Structure 1
Amino acid sequence: MAAPGRQPILSSTPLQILLYLNSWYFAAFFVAEILMFVYKGVLLPYPQANLILDIVLLILFLGLETLRLFYGYKGNLCQHSLALCVSVGILVPCAVLSVYYLLLQTFVLRLEFILNAVLLSFYSLELVLGLMTVSVFSRASIY
């Protein structure tokens, strides 16, 4: 219970922990994808245009994920439902890019399949917790 004159803390600790873990996981994912693209570009008959497209999409993925995590942190810690809604909204293109790297690339390595499956499980948990937290923020009267 909050002290008199103070607002209750409504931020979601599980969501914050998940965002933190996802930031570290995505950093490792990004480095692993770059190394796998080097491997595929050197050893596999990867078409040059497809390789460039996949690398550009990976850089776009990095930008979207950074933006999503920033708004997720800010929205959860500052109890702003709009920032958290933006984070959940950016989750959709990030999930689409993850599905692209999971299924639609020219060559999908087994390691990429596993890494993207774990990333999609992070996304599904963050979606559920994000929507629950937005609901809690929206019900509270914070002014």
Structure 2
Amino acid sequence: LCLQLSSVTLQLLLNLTSIYFVFYFLFTLSLIIKKSLELPYPSDALTNDVGLLVLFAALEFLHFYWGARGNLTESDSYMFGNLIMTVATILLAVYFLVWQTYVMRADVIISSVLITVYGADGVLALSTLAKFRREYL
């Protein structure tokens, strides 16, 4: 008897999160460009915001890859890595929600949606990891 432990819901949410993140990245980059042209944006702050956005994209790639791979192969280590990346990406989303140089209403809306999706992703990843651990112990 072969028992499938991977979560279809988690896989769908990971895919939707990655699609939303592409929109989020492009929209946030556009807003940063708009703000830098219209507002007195210190150059070091501009570099910081753009650098963190690029780091955010790299971490989102790892978040998706480790989550999808961990879920499909039922791997504890990849799922644990996914959870670590979920925390890191939530912290970066909070940065863009609260601490970036200029925060517009659009930043608040898109970052809040992203944090909510990451929260659901984290809960599903944690429950899937618990399912893996319970079955393999």
- Measured after TM superposition, the shift of residue 32 of structure 1 is 0.4
Question: What CA RMSD, in Å, does the superposition of the two structures yield over aligned residues?
Answer: 1.1
Aligned position for 1:78: 73
Count, aligned residues: 137
TM-score by length of 1: 0.93
The percentage of counterpart residues that share the same residue type is 36
Q: Distance in 2 between matches of 1:70 and 1:112?
A: 26
Aligned position for 2:7: 12
Q: Distance in 2 between matches of 1:27 and 1:38?
A: 17
Aligned amino acid, residue 103 of structure 1: V
Matched, 1:56 2:51: yes
Q: Distance in 1 between matches of 2:61 and 2:15?
A: 12
Could you report, residue by residue, the CA deviation over 1:90-143 in whole angstroms, capped at 9, with x for unpaired residues? 11111111101000111101111100000000111011101100000111139x
In terms of fraction of residues, the more helix-rich structure is 2
Structure 1 runs not aligned, ≥5 long: none
Q: How does 1:1-143 map to 2 (within 5 A)?
A: 4=1, 7-141=2-136
- Structure 1 or 2, whichever has the larger Rg, is 1
- For 1:106, what is the secondary structure of its paired residue? coil
- For 2:32, what is the secondary structure of its paired residue? helix
- Measured after TM superposition, the shift of residue 18 of structure 1 is 0.5
Could you report, residue by residue, the CA deviation over 1:60-97 in whole angstroms, capped at 9, with x for unpaired residues? 01001101110000000111111011000111111111
Q: Distance in 1 between matches of 2:28 and 2:96?
A: 9
TM-score by length of 2: 0.96
- What stretches of structure 1 move > 4 A for 4+ residues in a row? none
Could you report, residue by residue, the CA deviation over 1:31-82 in whole angstroms, capped at 9, with x for unpaired residues? 0011111101101111111011000010001001101110000000111111
Q: Distance in 1 between matches of 2:124 and 2:136?
A: 20
Structure 2 runs not aligned, ≥5 long: none
8 Å contact from structure 2 (residues 49, 101) kept in 1: no
